Amino acid sequence: MKKLALAAALLAFVSPAEARTILFIGNSFTYGANSAVHYYKADTVTDLNGPAANGKTVGGVPAIFKAFTKEAGLDYTVSLETVGGKGLDYHVAEKRAVIDKPWDEVVMHGYSTMDQAHPGDPALLIASTKQIADLLRARNPNVKLHLLATWSRADQVYPANAPAVWKGKPVQQMGRDLMAGNLAAAQGANIADVIPLGLAWNRAIDTGVAGADPYAGVPAGKINLWTWDSYHASAYYLEALMDFGRVTGRDPQSLGDAETVADDLGFSRPQTHALQQIAHDELAAQGR
Amino acid sequence: MKPGMLLGAGALLALSFAPASARTVLFLGSSFTYGAHSAAQHYHPELVKDLNGPDRNGETYAGVPAIFKQFTLEAGLNDYDVSSELVGGKGLEYWFTVPDTLARINKPWDVVVMHGFSTLDQAKPGDRTLLLSSSKQIAAMFLKANPNARLWLFATWGRADQVYPDNAPPVWKGKTPQQMGKDVQAAYEQAVKEEPRYAGIVPVGLAWNRAIDSGVADVNPYDGLDANKVDLWAYDHYHASSYGYYLEALMDFGKLTAHDPLELKGKDRVAEALGISPAQSTALMQVAHDTLAGSK
């Protein structure tokens, strides 16, 4: 009897009919703007917004997540709904028709400064997180919601013409403020999980894996986490590792430094090892 | 105008648009063409035919041939039929040691672009003897299959890992990467002198030198990356980064099509897909343009 139950459980685990559905809601920080991640393995995920003007659909971080789960022997059906430069308020107002479905898991995030009109003010993030959580739970009361706290933008810190809120502060401060804003938003919407990506980003800088100031160049042996605009990421790989860790409960280090996505994107094995270590350590520090 | 001339022009037009008359191009080379250690390796593999078929991950190589093909489409050249035969770490002599592969490439191609090992000879770095003999041998093979084939030799770049590390082999150790690029170029120039039936050289190494000398690219990746410069090398300081492969493909485009790489400005979509900014893309096009202007 026990054996039968185990067999049934195993069958359920591997059967395509039992794949968990996951939706990624976000903007350029999820679609992987200004990096090779943008169109990476787009055929492995469903872009709910369809092809863009250039005829292409997004692969982005969701496609990396999908590849990780395949490597780990897990079965997720991955969809995404991303629009550049938007917060969760936009998705509630304009994209309800495509996201209003009974998902098993949703990973989502707001605008990179929390509010484009009022940088650093969490009020809009808090309100819109509640709205989108209510919308998604109305369809599936058991949906697991993950709020992704994004990274410090170097372009908000170093340039002379940066807005006042984070200008001249340590680069890690913006990431800490975003984490605090997302924790408040999660609490308001009764969401258990805030994915601490911004803190992982800080950890990469603090431990010397990554450079702190891309405007000064990149120190020898370090990674530049940002892409050429010092705003978007070059290390979307780290984002996908953090999503993978929190959504699946697996240790990002279990993927190993020989996993294929890193090689596809041009990361060396030592760089891959370091980024997986950062993800592991940050998730461990947050009690997971 | 004579009626015959009009017919001739019409026939020429028909030829250039008909798939049956597509120009066949073979890229024959190693990791320096398939785009090892960069996202270029997987850039739209469906644009080209990888004669080796899928690897153990079920994937075919895209790399520089696919970027070249995309450039031709962006320039309105719709008749390039691009194939590749690429094996890591090999020189031109290698193809004569693998009969099955040799049979696959021994075809009447319209255009072939090919290159030897990055140090000219893996066993004897800097020694051009093997390059000279193997480039002659392979030219004879392709010209026998198609006497009108246009054959190009791709002169590769200076490798930072041959210059800076303490354990680098003696031949280029302590010199500049530009010197290695110049030495490699000189060897290919001799190859073309000895086999004048080559259409010419694609001077990629000289383009790298120009990118470095003009401040677009960093000269030494071992001491970090200067602000506002690109690193042409991958993490191993040996292969190219997406920037380096992009520059390689621009040079191929310029030489093979005789179009100016700057024509792609504002049209190109490869750069965005590889994470290259519009300003970086334009700078690399300018480097390719200037290098081609200097090599005519």
Q: pLDDT (tens digit, 9 = 90+) per residue, A187-214?
A: 999 999 999 999 999 999 999 999 999 9
Identify all chain A residues contacting B225, using CB atoms and an 8 Å cutoff: 217-218, 224
Instruction: Give the 3-state secondary structure of residue A161.
Output: coil
**CB-defined contacts A:B, below 8 A:** 61
Domain boundaries, chain A: 22-27+37-285
List the domain range (segments joined by +) for residue B54.
21-294
Residue in A37, A215, A234 closest to B227 by CB: A215
What's the token pair of residue A70?
Answer: 């395949």
How many structural domains compose chain B? 1
Do residue B275 and residue A228 have CB atoms under 8 angstroms apart?
yes
What's the token pair of residue B257?
Answer: 């099509």
CATH of the domain at B45: 3.40.50.1110
Q: Is B224 inside any structural domain?
A: yes
Chain B: residue whose CA lies nearest to A228: B277
A235 bridge partner residues: none
Radius of gyration for chain B, computed over Cα atoms and rounded to the nearest angstrom:
19
pLDDT of residue B56: 85
Q: pLDDT (tens digit, 9 = 90+) per residue, A80-119?
A: 999 999 999 999 999 999 999 999 999 999 999 999 999 9
pLDDT of residue A286: 87
Q: Is B156 inside any structural domain?
A: yes
Do residue B223 and residue A220 have CB atoms under 8 angstroms apart?
yes
Q: Is B1 inside any structural domain?
A: no
pLDDT of residue A17: 57
Buried-state track B263-294, b at ≥16 Cβ within 10 A, e below 16: bbeeebbbbbbbbbeeebbbbbbbbbbbbbee
**pLDDT surpassing 90 at residue A240:** yes
The mean of the pLDDT values for chain A is 94
Q: How far apart are CA A188 and CA A127, in angstroms?
A: 8
On whether any CB of chain B is under 8 Å from the CB of A17, the answer is no
Do residue A220 and residue B224 have CB atoms under 8 angstroms apart?
yes
Identify all chain A residues contacting B41, using CB atoms and an 8 Å cutoff: 264
On whether any CB of chain A is under 8 Å from the CB of B275, the answer is yes
- A233 burial level (CB within 10 Å; 0-12, 13-18, 19+): buried
CA angle A159, A164, A168 (to 5 degrees): 50
**Sign of the four-CA dihedral B205, B209, B215, B218:** positive
Question: Residue A6 — very low, low, confident or very high, per pLDDT cuts 50/70/90?
Answer: low
Q: Is B15 inside any structural domain?
A: no
Question: Using the 8-state DSSP alphabet, how is residue B112 labeled?
Answer: E
Q: What is the pTM of this model?
A: 0.92
Q: Is B2 inside any structural domain?
A: no
pLDDT of residue B22: 86
Q: Is B136 inside any structural domain?
A: yes
Chain B: residue whose CA lies nearest to A31: B273
- What ipTM does the predicted assembly reach? 0.91
CATH architecture of A22-27+37-285: 3-Layer(aba) Sandwich (3.40)
Q: How far apart are CA A144 and CA A192, in angstroms?
A: 8
Chain B: residue whose CA lies nearest to A216: B227
Q: Among B89, B236, B241, B222, which residue's Cα sits nearest to residue B166?
A: B222
CA distance A287 to chain B (A): 33
Q: Are B159 and B237 in contact (CB under 8 A)?
A: yes
Q: Which of residues 64-103 of B touch A (CB under 8 A)?
A: none
Residue B82 corresponds to which amino acid? V
Q: Is B76 inside any structural domain?
A: yes
Identify all chain B residues contacting A224, using CB atoms and an 8 Å cutoff: 225
Q: pLDDT (tens digit, 9 = 90+) per residue, A113-137?
A: 999 999 999 999 999 999 999 999 9
- For A88, the enclosing helix (H) or strand (E) is helix A88-94
Do residue A264 and residue B39 have CB atoms under 8 angstroms apart?
yes
Mean pLDDT by 10 residues, chain B (296 residues): 43 45 94 97 97 91 98 97 97 98 98 98 97 98 98 98 97 98 98 98 98 98 97 98 98 98 97 98 98 88
**pLDDT surpassing 90 at residue A218:** yes
Q: Are B241 and B38 in contact (CB under 8 A)?
A: yes
Backbone phi, psi, residue A24, to 5°: -105, 125
Q: Is B121 inside any structural domain?
A: yes
Secondary structure E strands in A57-205: 76-82, 105-108, 144-148, 193-195
DSSP string, B237-281: SSSB-HHHHHHHHHHHHHHHH---GGGGTTT--HHHHHT--HHHH
> Which residues, 6 or more positions from A277, have their beta carbon under 8 angstroms from its beta carbon?
A253
What's the token pair of residue A6?
Answer: 């185990």
Q: Among B287, B276, B288, which residue's Cα sits nearest to residue B40?
A: B276
- If phi over 0 gives left and psi between -120 and 50 gives alpha, with beta otherwise, what is residue B83? beta
